[in-house]
Amino acid sequence: MDNEQNQEQNSSEPKEAFHTTTSTKIVSHYNGWLVSDEFYKRSLAVVGHYLAGAFMIGFAFWVLAAVVMVLSNLL
């Protein structure tokens, strides 16, 4: 019964954005820049945005090349 009450209390508490109890326990023995999984989440976001930007630039050049080919055939 006590476990059920504890679970209800824990589920009603707000969770923090990046930190969880288990992740901070896992990496708490590291020092310096590797303090929590916040570093991993931010670096994954940076890599994702970089890849998305590279994809969009490549797509823009592909469309530009297609337009140039169509226009060169018309002339």
**C-alpha to C-alpha distances, 22 to 3, 26, 35, 37, 74, nearest whole angstrom:** 18, 6, 13, 10, 64
Boundaries of domain holding 17: 2-74
* Residue 41 confidence (pLDDT): 82
DSSP 8-state assignment for residue 33: T
* Residue 64 confidence (pLDDT): 97
pTM: 0.45
Q: Could you read off the pLDDT of 30-69 as tens digits, one per residue?
A: 555 555 677 788 888 999 999 999 999 999 999 999 999 9
Contact 50, 69 (CB under 8 A): no
Domain count, the chain: 1
Helices (H), the chain: 2-12, 21-26, 38-74
